[in-house]
Amino acid sequence: MATTIPHRIDFAAFWALVRAQHWVIARRQLLALGFTPAAIRHRIAIGRLHPIHGGVYAVGRREVAVEGRWMAAVLRCGKSSFLSHPSATALWGIEDFRGGPIHVSGPLSLAANPRGIVVHRRTGLRPNDVVHHKGIPVTSPALTLVDLAAEASPERLEAAINTADKLDLIDPDSLRRAVDVMPRRPGRAAVRRLVDRRTFLLTDSELERRFLPIATKAGLPKPLTQHVVHGFRADFCWPDLGLVVETDGLRYHRTPAQQARDRLRDQTFTAAGLTVLRFTHAQVRYEPGRVERTLRAVAERLRRRGSEGDQIRFVA
């Protein structure tokens, strides 16, 4: 008489997967772990599995955190799907979660919009366009910002880029490079325009060509450029006034090493009695009037101080 071999369920793998997926699991995953259709039906009947979407269940209790809802939506849409658009900005922490339907992207074969899910069919994706965050497949920070740019105002997009920078997800310079190699898609041009204003880099010669007329209009004589002062190279300096101007290529993001050196340089100059002004390349390029007004006001104050006999020691 033939004997029946019991169907083995890998419970260790089951619990590991459930924890990694924020307490949700798909039917196809249960079957792969050794659960039979009858075993799945039984666990639904006794309240151990709670249907969320077709073929996707919450484990143990019906209520799941927002991460579980996001993961369930991705599981419902299939193996190649991933979180995107406003749901992706919320997962990354770039914007607050605003409720509403969950946005999921995937291949052209993705099913029509299931209940509570907005489906985006995508082509031309590269391997690094989709990553995992908190265990959930999601568009990369760069692609998330490009998707946002397709429908957000410039002010909202700038706030999102600033937040992504502060969270160390992607800095503006890296975002600009990512957009350069990204296939054409809605939002790419908007990101490029905005980032170009924020991370605008001028060559030394072009920076001088743009900055020197601004300084002249502010009533300043021709400065020394790239002059060594107290052991540091200064972009522009006026020894008679005790004024140093430094320019930064990035407005919002500097590496820790760059920030430490900037602070040390500024502290050294200040300890020597020098006045240090910092402008970004973008300000020199796009806000010359503001730069001129600042230079004029500071130069007038420094001239008054000089006329009162307060001499600054300017050491090369």
Q: What is the pLDDT of residue 1?
A: 43
Q: What is the spatial distance between Cα 145 and Cα 99, in angstroms, rounded to a whole number?
A: 19
Write down the pLDDT at residue 26.
95
pTM of the model: 0.68
Residue from 83, 205, 182 nearest 139 by CA: 83
37, 115, 119: which is closest to 78 by C-alpha?
119
pLDDT at res. 107: 80
Quote the pLDDT of residue 316.
56
Give the CA angle between residues 118, 120, 126 to the nearest 5°. Answer: 145
* Domains recognised in the chain with CATH numbers: 65-198 (no CATH), 204-307 (3.40.960.10)
Over the chain (316 residues), what is each successive 10-residue block's mean pLDDT?
58 93 95 94 94 92 93 91 96 92 84 82 88 97 96 90 88 88 91 79 77 94 90 91 84 64 89 91 88 96 77 55
* Cβ-based neighbours of 48, under 8 Å, separated by 6 or more: 59, 60
